[in-house]
Amino acid sequence: MDAEGVIGGPVRGERIADVVARRLAQAILSGQLPPGSRLREETLASNFSVSRTPIREALIVLAASGLAHLEPNRGATVLQLTADDVAEVYHLRAVLESESAALASRRITPEVAGLLVKICDRMGELRAAPAAEQLAADTNFHYTIAEASGSPRLVALIRQVSAIPGDVTDPAHRAALARAVEAAGGLDLLVNNAGTLGASPLPALADYPVDELRTAFEVNVIAPVALTQLLLRPLRVRGGAVLNITSDAAVEAYTGWGGYGAAKAALEQASNVLAAEEQTVRVWWADPGDLRTEMHQRAFPGEDISDRPLPSEVAPGFLRLVSERLPSGRYRAAELLS
């Protein structure tokens, strides 16, 4: 299927490339543009009543987001998305928008509050309208709250969050992330959060399968160090930061946690050395504490971990590292939230 006849109408207001990218992304995520659809520059320029330059910029954004495959001088093709890809995008949006709502609640003006009421009323009127109209109103509502937060960086993150699926231990995936950074025009923050628990149930170190131990170090240490090496140059240019997610298992002796703990300890020391070597880039290694995650459940199979907080509950602590640009070093989410 081609994009012709699916997406149309002139673009007015906002930055043209951003609006085109957002509308195309919405069409892809909603299934209006299924996998394999051709996104031709000339057709899209005609449909949106714009030149081909903002269309090219929008397609670069889609490619960096993992939504399309870019073909130089030809356009792009919509890629196949999994349920996990879409879920990751919405999870990240939820974390960022929770923070923007908290900031907006303290900074919002009566005029903006009135505008939000009008948008809500409009959304109520659109209950029977086409999905595209409802989505546009919903997007307007969320972006208005983000703008009210008073944080330009947070607004930019919310507008640009997208998923690039892959395995961080795969050099090809790391290269794809680097290309996405180049396409986006730079990098302000690298968060190394991908990881593996290792063997489960957790064995004693004396019985730890060597292959599982090797995998734990490959995923939890080698991959984030390799990705950081790849992205240090754009981080230096922007005076950015690296946030490595660690664990108290890196500094405490917990029975059964030898493999995972040793890998996280290595990551912490690598972070410590990088912080000493880098003059313009902040390097943080942060312990989120026990969380209600699939990984934590695997560490305690059959146990009820519902009393642990969700990741979104500690995320504001990590956002504080960015917003206040705290010194390089080791942090605990509990301390950042206090």
Contact 59, 75 (CB under 8 A): yes
Task: Name the architecture of domain 16-78.
Answer: Orthogonal Bundle (1.10)
**pLDDT for 175:** 86
**pLDDT for 13:** 43
Domain boundaries, the chain: 16-78, 83-160, 171-337
Pairwise CA distance, residues 217 & 194, whole Å = 12
N-to-C CA span, the chain: 53
The residue among 102, 262, 271 whose CA lies nearest residue 191 is: 271
What tens digit of pLDDT does each residue of 24-64 get? 887 887 678 888 899 988 899 888 888 888 888 888 878 76
Give catalytic residue positions.
260
What is the DSSP track for 268-317?
A: HHHHHHHHHH-SSSEEEEEE--S-SSHHHHHHSTTS--TTSPPHHHHHHH
pLDDT in tens, the chain (338 residues): 555 444 444 433 457 887 788 788 878 876 788 888 999 888 998 888 888 888 888 888 787 667 888 776 667 888 876 766 667 767 777 788 888 888 999 998 998 888 889 888 888 888 777 655 666 677 778 888 888 888 887 877 776 665 566 788 989 888 878 877 876 678 899 999 988 998 888 999 999 999 999 999 999 999 999 999 999 999 999 999 999 999 999 999 999 999 999 999 999 999 999 999 999 999 999 999 998 888 888 888 888 988 988 887 888 888 889 889 999 999 999 999 98
Q: Which CATH number fits domain 171-337: 3.40.50.720, 2.102.10.10, 2.40.10.10, 3.30.70.330?
A: 3.40.50.720
Same topology, domains 16-78 and 171-337? Answer is: no
Type of residue numbered 139: T
Pairwise CA distance, residues 46 & 42, whole Å = 6
- Give residues with Cβ within 8 angstroms of 138, minimum separation 6: 123
Pairwise CA distance, residues 311 & 291, whole Å = 6
The residue among 22, 59, 58 whose CA lies nearest residue 159 is: 22
